[in-house]
Amino acid sequence: MGAPMPDHLRARRTHPEWAIPCPVQHCRAKPGLPCLGRTTHRPVAGGSHPTRLDTWLVQQHTQPAA
């Protein structure tokens, strides 16, 4: 009761696409983690690669919501 929300749950509210691993070859961010830049190794702008967002969006249309 009153416990802070775990990071991975908070992330799903702001970045639902983090539910899937990043399909970008050089990135491959794990579920629940932000995408990292290839050279900077820092989270990319927006938190995820556009390809990851696209892949997640497509899955929303091809799979029933869990």
> Minimum CB separation from Zn ion for residue 9, in Å?
21
Residue with tokens 């869990």: 66
What are 36's strand-pairing partners?
Answer: 43
Q: Does 49 bind Zn ion (CB under 5 A)?
A: yes
Tell me if 16 sits within 8 A of 56, measured CB to CB.
yes
Tokens of 59: 């899955």
Q: Does 53 bind Zn ion (CB under 5 A)?
A: no
Q: Does 27 bind Zn ion (CB under 5 A)?
A: yes
Q: Does 22 bind Zn ion (CB under 5 A)?
A: yes
Provide the binding-site residues for Zn ion, judged by CB under 5 A: 22, 24, 27, 29, 35, 49
